[in-house]
Amino acid sequence: MTIEQLAARLSAGALTTDPDIIAAHARDEALFCPHEGAIALVRAASASDVQEVMRYATANRVPVVPQGARSGISGGANGSPGAILLNVSRMNEVVAVDEAERLVTVQPGIINQDLKDHLAPYGLSYPPDPGSVALSSIGGNIATNAGGLCCVKYGVTRDYVRSLTVVLADGTLTTLGPRTAKGVAGLDLRHLFIGSEGTLGVIVEATLRLIPALPEPVTAVATFPDERTGLQTVADFMAAGGVPSLLEFLDATSLSMLNAFGDFGLDEDAGSMLIMQIDENPTDSEAAMAVFAEVAQACGALDVAYSDDPADSAALVAARRMIQPAYEKFAHAHGGGQLLDDVCLPRMAMPEFCDRLGELRSRSGLTIALVAHAGDGNTHPSVFFDAADAEETARAQEVFGEIMRIGLELGGTITGEHGVGYLKRDWLSSELDEGGQRMQLAVKAALDPLGILNPGKMFGAL
């Protein structure tokens, strides 16, 4: 079969070999990741399109790069030499809402926020809320086991996946289930697929578990003289049994970049800030807020305030959600470069991690800002640099790697929620022991024996 013959078997207009269109679809949001060389783009309209592409790819040993919204930041959706870009963004329907079983079945291309909006009238909630909630698709969220702000109480994408329908390397369609609340019939391949970044197959449908609509939260804001006291508050509050529904940390650099971006009026004199939410009933929330205030003050907080006004809460969380655009504005004015890291740590290790970032700052002379989904120990340091300056760029990349090394040293992981993709493939072997590395490759080879699914990503350097 030629690629023209493949095109004829797909939904009308699904396949294009136009170099400009291919180029416009060849990368996600990652820096420093190769993305060139794709030979075609298929915008699949159905599972059958996906199957046809995979059958063709197997027959012709053509690499395939599964893509959703391309909002990832590790290069997992980037093109590679000779590859077909297999984009499922057009498959974005809600197939069915089952109120009685609290389930929703969706196509992979639906945007996370669109799903949330669709569910609101039913009084049901799909909690996972990655920073990219307005941009990223459910298929991509599953492929990277996306996290977000609410994970500290509500868990990650994995915790909401019931069954997946996937297309395997050879075009076989299979459903990894069951849809029931419990099920242990055979190896749980559904959980193997979650977070597999398009290296094992292509998700074409997902049934997700829902929970009753989340209650309105009470929101606290605390400011601290420095970073360390803010992060110590997180560790101590969680150790005291706190169950926040959101617990975000911003360092002084991030606060000042946010203020420079929008009219948020955040306290510029503070060395760091915590935004914390509790969504229990009023009595429990108030009690938890009192514990939080006590812990924060014991750690040396400058100020602790809280509000049960939904508008206040929404405004604060909206400010936090603007951090990436604020970073981009700063980067734009300073040479354009930003490398966003994603080290997840034991909570108790965060204060020391912050000290080590300080040393890195002094040593490298680079601006490093830190935000964190702190209740989960999931830190996002950003390294800023002048992308036109080769030496500074190299220094920034070195710092980026050093941050991961420190994370591993402190008992953490190189990636809490962003995935490995191209960006971190050289570091994967620093995290996994030798047996673990061999198992990764063995499972990959078992399910994709020709190595056509997203080659070079994730395992590319093992």
Q: Which of residues 14-33 bind its own copies (CB under 8 A)?
A: none
Question: Which of 378, 382, 393, 454 is close enough to bind its own copies by CB under 8 A?
Answer: 378
User: Least Å distance between CB 55 and its own copies?
Assistant: 13
User: Per-residue string for binding with its own copies, 33-72, x by CB under 8 A?
Assistant: ----------------------------------------
**Can you spell out the DSSP letters for 206-267?**
EEEE-EEPPPPPEEEEEEESSHHHHHHHHHHHHHTT---SEEEEEEHHHHHHHHHHS-----
Cα(73)–Cα(77) distance, integer angstroms: 9
Kindly state whether residue 303 participates in binding its own copies, applying the rule CB under 8 A: no
262-281 residues in contact with its own copies (CB under 8 A) are: 280-281
| Nearest-approach distance from CB 201 to its own copies, in angstroms | 9
Of 15-23, 100-108, 318-326, 364-372, the window that binds its own copies (rule: CB under 8 A) is 100-108
What torsion, rounded to 10 degrees, do the Cα atoms 7, 10, 13, 17 define?
A: -30
> Which residue of 344, 368, 370, 453 would you call a contact of its own copies, by CB under 8 A?
344
Closest contact distance (angstroms) between CB of 247 and its own copies is 11
The smaller minimum CB distance to its own copies, of residues 118 and 158, is found at: 158
Q: Which is nearer to its own copies, 193 or 385 (CB)?
A: 193
Our CB check for its own copies shows the closer of 40 and 206 to be 206
Q: CB-wise, 119 or 151, nearer to its own copies? A: 151
Helices (H), 240-371: 252-261, 282-299, 310-321, 323-333, 350-364
Both tokens of residue 318?
């909206």
Q: Under the criterion CB under 8 A, does residue 350 sit at the interface with its own copies?
A: no
* Beta carbon of residue 456, minimum distance to its own copies (angstroms, whole number): 15
Instruction: Show contacts with its own copies in window 221-260 (CB under 8 A).
Output: 235, 238-239, 241, 243
Write out the binding residues for its own copies, residues 439-458 only, by CB under 8 A: 439-440, 442-447, 458
Nearer CB in complex with its own copies: 34/215: 215
- Alpha-carbon distance of 184 to 91, in angstroms, equals 30
Binding positions for its own copies, 69-88, rule CB under 8 A:
none
Choice between 212 and 365, CB closer to its own copies: 212
Look at phi and psi of residue 240 and say left if phi exceeds 0, alpha if psi is from -120 to 50, else beta. Answer: alpha
Q: Shortest approach of its own copies to residue 32 CB, angstroms?
A: 18
Q: Which amino acid is located at 328 in the chain?
A: E
Alpha-carbon span 324 to 315, nearest angstrom: 16
In angstroms, give the least distance from the CB of 46 to its own copies.
18
Residues in binding contact with its own copies, number by CB under 8 A: 88
Report the C-alpha gap between 210 and 203 in whole angstroms. 19
Could you tell me the end-to-end alpha-carbon distance of the chain, in angstroms, rounded to an integer? 33
Q: Is 87 exposed, middle or buried (0-12, 13-18, 19+ CB in 10 A)?
A: buried
Nearer to its own copies, 258 or 288 (CB): 288
Minimal distance in Å, beta carbon 395 to its own copies?
25
Q: Select from 1-9, 55-63, 175-183, 268-276 the region that touches its own copies (CB under 8 A).
A: 175-183
Question: DSSP for 418-431?
Answer: S--TTTTGGGHHHH
CA distance 65 to 200: 11
Range 393-422, binding its own copies (CB under 8 A): 411-420
347 is a contact residue toward its own copies (CB under 8 A): yes
Nearer to its own copies (CB atom), residue 64 or residue 420: 420
Shortest separation between residue 112's beta carbon and its own copies, angstroms: 17
Cα gap 193→210, rounded to integer Å? 20
**Cα–Cα dist 239/286, whole Å:** 18
Identify the residue among 141, 196, 272, 454 touching its own copies (CB under 8 A): 196
Chain centroid, CA 38 distance in Å: 25
β-strands 246-251, 272-278: how paired? antiparallel
Give yes or no for residue 159 binding its own copies (CB under 8 A). yes
Q: 272: Cβ–Cβ under 8 A, 6 or more apart, which residues?
A: 223, 224, 226, 227, 229, 230, 231, 249, 250, 251, 252, 255
d(CA 282, CA 290): 12
Neighbours of 116 (CB within 10 A): 17
Length of the chain counted residue by residue: 462
Q: Which of residues 282-301 bind its own copies (CB under 8 A)?
A: 283-284
Q: Segment 305-334, which members bind its own copies (CB under 8 A)?
A: none
- For its own copies, the binding residues in 176-195 under the rule CB under 8 A are 176-189, 191-192, 194-195
356 lies in the binding site for its own copies (CB under 8 A): no
Only one of the segments 13-21, 27-35, 294-302, 373-381 lies at the binding site for its own copies (rule: CB under 8 A); that segment is 373-381
Site string for its own copies, 132-151 (x = CB under 8 A): ------------xx-x---x
* Residue whose pair of structure tokens reads 């009192």 in the numeric block: 290
